A and B are shown apart, each in its own frame.
Chain A
Amino acid sequence: MKKILSGNLFFTLILIALLALVPYIAPPFYVYLTLTSLAYIPVVIGFNILFGYTGLLSFGHGLFLALGMYTTAFLMRNYTMENLEVLILASALSAFIVGLGVGYICVKYTRIYFALLTLAFGMVFYTLLIKFTPITGGDEGLRITFKPLLLGLDFRYLPHLDFLFQPYYYYVLGIVIILTVLAYIIVSSHFGLSLKAIKENSEKAEALGINIKRFRLYSFVISAIYTSIGGALLAHITSHVTPIFSYWTTSGEIVFMTLLGGFTNFFGPIIGVFVYTLLRDFIMSTIIYWRILFGAALLLIIIFVPGGISEGLIRIYKHFKGA
C-alpha cells in the first residue's frame, strides 16, 4: 500500500514538473492548449466527485461551468473587480448558493431522473443567459476586456499572450494543484468513503446511519463549486463567455472527458482532459468531421473499456507484469 502511494506521489511530482516546464519547452499553441486543459481539471474533478464517487450522472454540469464564467465576467465588467482571488471566491460562492438550491431539488432523485433533472436545469440556465441580455449580453455573451490582478500584482503591462503564458499559467497551475490535493483528501476521507458506500449500496449505507440525501447534497455542492472555479479560471483564457457553456452538449463534453480518462480512478478524469483537449485540436485541424471520430471513440470506450484510458493502462501494466 505504502509503495503504491509513494509510486503515485513520484509520478505526480514528475507530472507537475513537466507541466511547470511546458511554457518554456512547448510551442505557444500547445501552451495555450495545456493552459485550457488545466482550467478544465477542477471541472472534471468536480463532476467525478458526483459521478464516480457518488454515482449520480449530471447531464447539466455546463450550468456550473457557465456560472463561474459569467460570475467572473459580470463582476469584472460591472464592478471592475480586479483581484483574481476575489473573483474565484465569488464564483465559488455563487456555485455554493445555486448548487445548494438546484442540488436540494435534484438529489431527491437518482439514476435516469437525476440525469434528466440536471439536464433540465442546465437548459433553463441556458435560456436565462440568452434572455436576460442586460446582465448576460444575450447570444453574444460578455467579453472580458482587462486582465485580473494575480495575488494583488499588476501584470497589465504584459501583452495578452505573455500574460497568459507566464504569470497566469503558473497561477492556474498552483490553484489546480491545491484543488486536486484537496479533492484527493476529500474522497479519501470518512466523508468520501461514505459517498462510495452510498453509490455501491444506498440501503446498506442508510442502515449504517449515513444520511443519504444530505451526503448527496454535500457532494453536489462540492462538485458545483469545483466546476464553477474551473469556469472562473477558464473565463480569462477565452476572454469571452457565451451561453453555449451551459448548453447540454457542453455538459456532454464534460461527461465525455471524464469517461475518456476513466471515472473509476481519481486521476482518470485529469488524463481525460489532456487527451481530449489535445486530440480534439489535432483532429479538428486535420479533418472538420471530428464529431464522427469522437462519437465512435465514445462508443468504443463504453463497450470495451468503460473505465477509460486509466483502466486500459492498468490492464496493459498488469498484462506485462503478469507475463
Chain B
Amino acid sequence: MALLEPSTITILVLTGIFSSSIIFLISAGLQIVFGIQRILNLTVGSFYAIGAYVGITFINFFLKMGFSVVYGLLFLILAGLSLSFLGPTIERGVLNFVYKKEEAFQLLATFGLVLIFEDMIKLIWGSYPQISDFGILTYGEFRFLDTSFPVYYFLVIISAFLIAFLLEFFIKKTRQGKKMRSVADDIEMSEGLGVKVRNIYILSFTIGTVLGTLAGALIIPVTAAVLGMGIEAIVLAFAVVVIAGLGSMRGALLASLIVGLLQAFITFIFPELTTFVIYLIVIAVLLIKPTGLMGKEI
C-alpha cells in the first residue's frame, strides 16, 4: 500500500472534487426529475454518455475547422446544450404515457430507454473508444505545493458550482421555478391555480437531460468515451441520490462530494473496492435513514 504523503492527499482531494462535480451534475439531473415527476430516471446515465460522444464529435469538428483550442470549453458546453432537444422528445414521447402507471413500470420504462440509447451510441459511433483532440493541459497547469493540476479541473469545478447556484436561484426565485415547486408539492392544487403541469414536466425533464449531457461533455478531455460509461455513471449517481435523499438538490451536492472523495481515496488505497464501499454506505443510509441525509419524508 502506498503511503499517503501530503502531496498525494492533495492530488486525491482535488481529483475527488473534480469527479464530485461531474457526479453532482448527473445526480442533479436525477433529482430534479424525481422531485417534480416522481420518476427515478435511469436514462440520465445515457444522457451523460451521449453528451460525451457528441462532445468529442463537436470539438474535433471545430478543431478541424481551424478554431483555436482555447475555445474548447465553450464548444463542450455548446455540445451539452445542443442535446437539450432530447428532453421534450422523450418526455412527450415516452414518459407522458407512464405518469399514471405504477412506480415499477416507470422505472422499467427508463430502463427500456437505457437499452435503446446504449445501442444507438454503438450504431452511430461504433464499439471503439472515442478520443477527443482536446488535451487536458490546454489551459495549462496549476502548481500547488510540490504537485501540479490541470487548470481544466478547476474550470469544471467552478462550472459545476455555478450550475448548482443557478439551479438553486432558478428554483427558488424565478416564476417558473416557483411553479415547479408548487407542482412538486401538490399537482392538483397547482393545476387548479392555473399552472400548466404539462409544461412544467417538459421543463424539469429538459433541465435533467441537459445536466446529464453537460456532465458527459465536460468529462471528455479527461477520459475517452466508451460503451457502458452511461451504465457506470448511473450506478454512481444512483448511490448519490440515495445517500442524499431522493429529490433533494442540496443533499445531492453534499453526497456527490462524499462519493467523489471516497471514490478517489478508495480507488487509490484498495482499487476495485470502490463500488463495494459506496454501496455499503448506500445500504447503511437506507437502513438508518431511508429518506437520505437531506430528503423529505415521502
Contacts and interface: CB of A to CB of B under 8 A. Distances in A.
A318 B242 CA distance: 45
Interface residues on B, range: 35 or more
A59 B272 contact: no
Q: Which of B104, B120, B242 has the most CB of A within 10 A?
A: B104
B275 interface: yes
A296 B120 CA distance: 12
B158 interface: no
A255 to B, nearest CB: 6
B112 A131 contact: no
Contacts of B139: none
A295 B104 contact: no
A115 B113 CA distance: 18
Nearest to B285: A120
A178 B169 CA distance: 62
B4 interface: no
B74 interface: no
Given A112-B103, A295-B113, A298-B109, A120 B119 contact: no
Given A292-B115, A306-B101, A113 B275 contact: no
A123 B109 contact: no
B98 A303 contact: yes
A291 B238 CA distance: 22
A57 B276 contact: no
A291 B119 contact: yes
B116 A302 contact: no
B286 interface: yes
Interface in B85-139: 94, 97-98, 101, 103-105, 107-109, 111-120, 122-123
A298 B108 contact: yes
Contacts of B238: 116, 119
Interface in A146-180: none
B276 A302 contact: no
Contact of B290 (A113, A123, A248, A256): A113
A126 B118 CA distance: 21
A18 to B, nearest CB: 31
B279 interface: yes
B145 interface: no
B49 to A, nearest CB: 13
B273 interface: yes
B290 A306 contact: no
Contacts of B290: 109, 113
A252 interface: yes
B117 to A, nearest CB: 8
Given A116-B286, A130-B272, A255-B108, A296 B116 contact: yes
Contacts of B258: none
Q: Mostly helix, strand, loop or mixed at chain B's interface?
A: helix
Contacts of A57: 103-104, 107
Nearest to A298: B112
A124 B115 contact: no
A298 B275 contact: no
B107 A115 contact: yes
A116 B283 CA distance: 9
Contact of B279 (A51, A124, A291, A296): A124
Given A117-B283, A295-B115, A112 B105 contact: no
Contact of A298 (B111, B273, B286): B111
Given A127-B275, A131-B273, A291 B235 contact: no
B248 to A, nearest CB: 15
B122 A123 contact: no
Given A124-B283, A295-B113, A259 B108 contact: yes
Given A127-B275, A296-B112, A120 B105 contact: no
A127 B276 contact: yes
Contact of A295 (B114, B122, B231, B242): B114
Q: Which of A57, A119, A127 has the most CB of B within 10 A?
A: A127
B279 A123 contact: yes
Interface of B: 40, 94, 97-98, 101, 103-105, 107-109, 111-120, 122-123, 231, 235, 238-239, 242, 246, 272-273, 275-276, 279-280, 282-283, 286-287, 290
Give 8 closest A-B pairs by Cβ, nearest first: A295-B115, A295-B116, A298-B112, A127-B276, A291-B119, A57-B104, A291-B115, A295-B112
Given A112-B40, A116-B286, A126-B275, 4 more contacts: A51-B104, A115-B104, A290-B119, A294-B112
12 contacts: A123-B275, A123-B279, A124-B279, A131-B273, A291-B116, A292-B115, A295-B112, A295-B115, A295-B116, A299-B112, A299-B113, A299-B116
